[in-house]
Each structure stands twice: as structure tokens, then as C-alpha cells.
Structure 1
């Protein structure tokens, strides 16, 4: 969307003349995500967001009641983007099931290390430890894990992962392993992103059956 004239928007009695309802919300989430990456959570506020987008300072409150709701919307967008990446992998007919599993693990770790601020918000204590996740965020975050459980069952049935393990427990442990490695890479503790491919292969080989 082309740059908007801030003064024109602030004088407008009806924001719908500048944006459709959904367009403005999406624009706010996109701009807030950029601000999060640039300045962290501390540098993000609804007032600064309004200035960034070029709307009145009350406009964001029509979509987010407070900063927590905005942060949850950013996290929700992060989960949706990850699901889109995953679906792109799963829909590739040229890949075997084992290759899809390998691609999923590598894509997950790349996603986390390339978007660490968003990843931290998706899974970190800022939202979840304080039990402040919005219903909209929960509606995508919880199904995201359930989808992983179903994928584990599918890969067990296909002989990619060990069928002797409980599917839920294997899903929890395999995701926790990916998450733990992602955290080490993001924090720069005991792991270096320069060795990402080797670590991905080691992680994959720890779970995948040798004949896959």
C-alpha cells in the first residue's frame, strides 16, 4: 500500500474512507511486527503504532483493547505463517514422507532463527506465563500443536517415526527437541547458527527410523 498522508488521515471523521476494517487491522499487525523486530516489546506501543501507520492515536484501540491484545495478534500471525510454511512442505508430491519430515524440522528451525523476536513471542513467557493469551491466539496456537500430533501419527503409520511410542508423547518430545535447539540457536548458547544444517540432521536422525 502506498505511503499515507498522516495529516489527512487524522482529520478524517471516518477511518473507513482510508481503510477497510480488515485492511487496517492487518496493516497495524504488519507494522507492529516490524516495530517488534526493530525495538523489541519495550519499544512497541499503540501510540507509536498509530504514528507509524499514519492514523489517529485512537484508531488502534478499535482493533486491540491494549498492548497485550496487540502482542497476541502478532503471535497469532506468526503461527499462521508457520502453518503456511508447513502446508507448503506437506503439499509437495515429489517429497516422500521421510523427506517431508526432514524438511519440516529444517524449516521450523530456520523459521525460529530468522524471526527470533516473533518466535519468542509465539512461545515465550510474555504471553503464556501470564496466562494472557487471547481467544483468537489460542484458536491457532492450540490447533498448531494438534496438527503436529496428527502428523506424528501419520509418520508413524508410514514407518518414518517409531510406531512403538505413544503419539502424543512423541509429538511433545519431538517438538520440545526442536524448540530447545531453536532456543539455543537464538540465544547463542552452546549452538551456532552456522552449524544449523548439521544440527538439523542430528536431530532428525535421532527420531527418524533408520530405514526411512
Structure 2
């Protein structure tokens, strides 16, 4: 038996596309529609103050809960749905219900969704993605599949679960990361076609 854990924003849903569209309009930025930042914090485009201002505006915008899927939900559900599927995203916890609505409206099926990661929000307990997996993992021998786009989260899960199958979804900001035990996915087809623990049907 296996259990799968997926990041949401930037892995299942196109966070950057939605965020960039929102801040492009908000700040009246002269950038192409397909602009992709090479910085996790968008420092090649915005100041720190602008990022915080734009992030707050985005959280309260309709675009936040209308992010488009980065993998076909029907294909995803068929591939992973035979075993528990959990989503772990690093957004403010009080926004989680809106994100779950976004996921369901897009067509994703899942057992649970949680907020965790290395970005901490005031008034909420600090927990890593490995902490969440530890709480949800049901059996000692259960195999784990984990997919994320941030190297820190992948390393965190790798440290706690050295036998897990871990995939880093390629993004411009993580191009320089390499690890012998963390597999890099160019896109979703790499995970869907090359995972060693997903049962074939």
C-alpha cells in the first residue's frame, strides 16, 4: 500500500500564472503574459514591499480560488485515487477552505488538505510538511510518494522519510538544485509515467 502527498500551489494548480496575472494588473506591469520569475520571492520583478502588498491583494481576489490545474484532474484521479491522497500547501490556514473549493471545482479528488511548510503565518502553529505526513501515515510499511516544487520541502520529507519516493517539480527558481535521491520532474508526465510505486492498471 502507498499514500501520496502533493503540494498544491505551483504543483497541482498554476499559482504563478494566477499570481502574475493579478499583480500585473494591480501594479500595471509591462511584462509578457507568459513571464516566469526565476526567484521564489519574485525578487527579479518586485521589491519585498511590493511582494507583500501584491500577495495580500491576491489573497483577497477572485483569482486566488480560480487557479487552473497543471495536470489533468481526471488522469490524476485515475492514477492515484486507489490509495489515500493528501494535499499539503503553504498558504495561510484561513485561506484553506477557498483552496479546497478551487481544487474540487477543478475536478481533483482527495482525502484531506492541510497547510504546512517553511513559510510561517502569525497566529498559526508552525509545522513542516513532514510533520503532516507523520500524522497521516497509517502504517509503518506504507510507501510514500511526495511531490513538491520547493527543494526545502523535499529535503525535509527526505530527512524524515528516507525511503519515500520524492519528486521535485521543475520551476525556474529550483533549476540549480540537485540531489541523488530526489527525482526531478520536468512536468507531470515524468511523475505519471516513471513513478516506481504507483501501481499500473
TM-score, normalising length: structure 1? 0.27
Higher relative CO (Cα under 8 Å, sequence separation at least 6) belongs to 2
Between Structure 1 and Structure 2, which shows a larger proportion of strand residues? 2
TM-score, normalising length: structure 2? 0.28
